[in-house]
Structure 1
Amino acid sequence: MLFSLDKNLFKRVPDLKIGIIVYENIVVGDSPSMLKGRLEYFQETVRTDLDERPVDEYEGVKEWRSIFRDLGIDPKRYRPSHEALLRRISNGKDLPFIHSAADVNNFFSLQYDMPVGIYDGHALNDYIKIRLGQEEEAMEGLNGRMNNMEGKLAGFDKRGPFGSPIVDAARTMTTTDTTNAVQIFYIPPSLPQDEAEQLLQAASNMFIQLHSGSNSIYLLDQNKTNFQHAPH
């Protein structure tokens, strides 16, 4: 499978970085008590922090709002997914426990202050390209609505858009039957390359500890806009 990042995006966001982790032969199930405990503790920590500063002042929120504006996306109308998680917590709502893959993905979004998506690898077709959506490109989202992706940053495969830093598609969602998964990190451009690589390694290590299997890590940026992934 070929992973690529559209070079035209660098005209608007020169230091854009996209992290991709491929997991194979994993076992997804109910989240262990350790992960649930860490999520609950992290949510309480966020609530305490939100008493001191609003969601708007989180560095990752400010940076991704700025990126959205640079890409021509209205951040007031379309919120980055990690901001949506923070706002849910700030409104006193707990994040629901779904399954281990989705729950640890939410944990990464909060911990690293960036949008992170995870997708069923067997539902992805042929390639993954990160680009802006074109006219009439749309996807049925996990929010239950048909989402117009024109002009929005998103991941595309042969069938069309499947995920974005705003909303993900229903057709590629992970379940307890998922054995291969692809995780996409929308990394803040301000994060240096070496720190981005360390982040991806730490995240993949934790994921493998929870799900077994194997992993491959790729970082797309101006220096390397495409990778060919060969299944293990």
Structure 2
Amino acid sequence: MFDVSISSQLKDLVPDFKIGIIYYPSIAVGELPSLIGERLPLYYENIHLSLTEHHVNEIPGVREWRQVFKKIGCDPSRYRPSQEALLRKIKKDGHPHFIHSAVDLLNFFSVQHGIPMGLYDAAHLENPIQIKIGTDADQYNGLNGRIMHMKDKLVSIDGCGAFGSPIVDSRRTCVTEKTTEALQIIYLRPSMAANEAQQLIEKMAEMFTQVHGGSHEWTLIR
């Protein structure tokens, strides 16, 4: 299990900040089982229809995470939380990009619960890991093809430097079909009670291992 902490500066600005951490030591990434894969398009179509009547910013998790970004000095209209970006894509196109079982399942979790999350190839991570507010020194090659400058943004760093964010993650630690161990970071709603958060983390961990095999270890950090 990785040593993960939240910086004191971040806790000062968002006292109820909390994250779920799940470690999957032995997984097999590929295609989603047909039972799930066949149902996802219908699920996203229902989300798409619901968003024709409701604004994305009205979703409780989106609204709360936009407030978190504002508290740390990041403009959520310029740098959107990842679950908001997913929901906006569904509103526009009817579904997110389908990539492989791990990312597809993570996107489902994120849309279902209205919160950002990240999944990382644990073989490319080095202890310790800290969730903090970025500085000028924190940057990385993003999955969006851009150099991400993380000053005044929420960022995850490990022994090699910055690698992830609830905005967009890095190429260095991205999960592929060759990944055999992974670390999931769940950016929980600060307002969520601890017992509810623990139940949610465990539920995600169990579903992920049902699809990808192996075992899991999880913890709530606050």
Q: TM-score range by the shorter chain?
A: over 0.9
Aligned length: 221
Counterpart of 2:179, as a letter, is T
Deviation per CA, 1:116-172: give whole Å up to 9, x if none: 110000010122111111113200000001000111111100111111000000010
Counterparts of residues 46-195 of structure 1 (less than 5 Å): 46-195=47-196
- Could you give the per-residue CA deviations for residues 172-203 of structure 1, whole angstroms, max 9, x where no partner exists? 00011111000000000111100000000000
Give the residue type in structure 1 aligned to 2:164: G
1:198: which partner in 2? Answer: 199
Change in Cα spacing, 1:127 to 1:38, as seen in structure 2 (3 Å) is: farther
User: How far has the Cα of 1:9 moved from its partner?
Assistant: 1.2
Q: Matched residue of 1:60: which SS?
A: helix
Letter in 2 for 1:24: P
Q: 2:45 touches 2:95 (CA, 8 Å); kept in 1?
A: no
1:210 match: 211
Task: Show the counterpart of 1:230.
Answer: none
User: For residues 125 and 202 of structure 1, what CA distance do their matches in structure 2 show?
Assistant: 27
CA distance in 2, matches of 1:108, 1:93: 17
CA displacement, residues 38-82 of structure 1 (integer Å, 9 cap, x when unaligned): 321221111121122111111111100011001100011000000
Unaligned runs of 5+ in 1: 222-232
The TM-score normalised by the length of structure 2 is 0.97
Q: Which amino acid is the alignment partner of residue 36 of structure 2?
A: L
Secondary structure, counterpart of 1:214 in structure 2: coil
Q: CA deviation at 1:211?
A: 0.7
**Paired residue type of 1:20:** I
Matched residue type, 2:161: G
Question: Contact 2:74–2:152 at 8 Å: present in 1 too?
Answer: yes
- Report what 2:24 is aligned to: 23
Counterparts of 2:146 and 2:52, CA distance in 1: 33
Identity of aligned residues (%): 46
Structure 2: distance between partners of 1:37 and 1:188: 29
1:35 aligns with 2:36: yes
Deviates more, 1:90-99 or 1:111-120: 90-99
Cα distance in 2 for partners of 1:94, 1:57 equals 19
Q: Name the CA distance, whole Å, in 2 between partners of 1:201 and 1:67.
A: 24
Asked if 2 retains the 8 angstrom alpha-carbon contact of 1:82 and 1:110, the reply is yes
Paired position in structure 2 for 1:44: 45
TM-score normalised per structure 1: 0.92
SS of the aligned residue for 1:37 comes to: helix
1:96 is displaced (CA, Å) by 2.1
- Segments of 4+ moved more than 4 angstroms: none
Residue 114 (structure 1) shift: 0.2
Output the CA distance in 2 between the equivalents of 1:14 and 1:138: 25
For residues 211 and 196 of structure 2, the distance between their equivalents in structure 1, rounded to whole angstroms, comes to: 23
Counterparts of 1:218 and 1:39, CA distance in 2: 28
Contact 2:28 2:213 in 1 (8 A): yes
Which runs of 5 or more structure 2 residues have no equivalent in the other structure? none
How many angstroms does 1:93 deviate by? 4.6
